[in-house]
Amino acid sequence: MYLFYPNPCVNASAPVSLSFTSASVSAALCIPTVFGNLLVVLAVIIDPNGELKRSPFNYFVANLAACDLIVGVITDPLTVDFHIREGLRLKIYRDHKVEHMAFFISCTGSLLSMAALAVDRLTAITSPLKYRAKLAYNRVIVASVCIWVFSLSFPFIYFLVHFIAYAFVFVNTAVIVTFIVLVVTTLKISRNLRRQVQHWTDLNEDSSSGSSVNKPQEHAQKREQVMTKAFVLMLLVFMGCFLPACVFAYLLNLCRVCSCNLIEWSRDLVLLFVLANSAINPYLYAWRLKAFRSAFGKIFLCQYGKMKAVTGDITGRTSGNTTSSLPA
């Protein structure tokens, strides 16, 4: 089923260079996507320092990482397999439904998780006392469940219209609506941060004693600022990946004079830009947020200690067995 007009390039063969380029990029993205997002999820679940579970923000971060992890575990490997077979002109025995459904489910979950993160940051910055008073983790769980329910159900439209048409529907619903929400909340966050900085400046100018009284509150507010700046950086990367994908989705559906080569490139670039976003996100958390960096370090040290202990135990047993087997 086509949304606007029959696409004459449906049965055309993609250029060999495009197939192997797409396969190479997908393969290169697979390892950092799985490694980075799995580490974020484990950091929040294990929470070795007891810091990450104190804020709903980190639960939404883990939810976003779980969505991106689907990309690394399912979409990336299937994409590599498909493009290698396409480049070698081998027969493809399966359709792309699993690959595309995993792609759209993870995309929808990522979009909604980013929107939830935006609302969380907006509440934390504009109403910090209210935010801490209503730090109800049940709400985070309910929001996460709603995100996954919608993410698992909405992409079923794909079975009615297939990839190209659904990409257009997806761009004009989930992507645009989420983009508007993110821009509005980010602008409000930025405006409130400027007000808070001016308020602290006025307090310091008025009284040095007043500044010392507000030290705990100022420290908490600065901590929220660091988290929010990390989120804004994530948002910029998100837009840098999704906006080009949207442009190529429009080309796929609206360009009647485009060559089949351009259509094939647009088809792959829609996918690759979003896959890149899933690979980049976790490293923004790791390098921007101290709590995550510390948790990652503890996890690595713990695993290294376990491996060292196991190696030492095996070495000790081997040495003992060797000694006992020697003649008296």
Q: Which pLDDT tens digit goes with each residue over 27-44?
A: 999 999 999 999 999 999
Q: Hey, what amino acid is at 16?
A: V
Predicted local distance difference test score (pLDDT) of residue 298: 86
Q: Hey, what amino acid is at 107?
A: C
In sequence order, the 6+-apart residues with CB closer than 8 A to the CB of 203 are 210, 211, 214
pLDDT at 326 over 50: no
Predicted local distance difference test score (pLDDT) of residue 1: 43
Predicted local distance difference test score (pLDDT) of residue 162: 81
Residue 7 lies in a domain: no
Cα separation, 299 vs 311, whole angstroms: 18
Backbone angles phi, psi at 244, to 5 degrees: -60, -35
Residue 193 lies in a domain: yes
Tell me what the mean pLDDT of segment 89-109 comes to.
80
Predicted local distance difference test score (pLDDT) of residue 66: 93
The CATH number covering residue 101 comes to 1.20.1070.10
pLDDT at 219 over 70: no
Q: Hey, what amino acid is at 42?
A: L
This prediction has a pTM of 0.79
Residue 328 lies in a domain: no
Q: pLDDT band at 85, cuts 50/70/90? A: confident
Residue 323 lies in a domain: no
Tokens coding 14: 């993609």
Domain count for the chain: 1
Residue 2 lies in a domain: no
Are the CB atoms for 37 and 72 separated by under 8 Å? yes
Give the lowest-confidence range in 13-17, 133-137, 184-188.
133-137
Give the lowest-confidence range in 21-30, 129-138, 235-244.
129-138
Residue 322 lies in a domain: no
Are the CB atoms for 276 and 110 separated by under 8 Å? no
pLDDT at 2 over 50: no
Predicted local distance difference test score (pLDDT) of residue 313: 57
Cα separation, 131 vs 133, whole angstroms: 6
Percent of the chain with pLDDT over 70: 74
Residue 9 lies in a domain: no
Are the CB atoms for 278 and 33 separated by under 8 Å? yes
Domain containing 21 equals 16-317
Q: How does the average pLDDT of the chain come out, rounded?
A: 79
Tell me what the mean pLDDT of segment 61-65 comes to.
90
Give the lowest-confidence range in 156-165, 293-302, 311-320.
311-320
Predicted local distance difference test score (pLDDT) of residue 328: 38
Residue 276 lies in a domain: yes
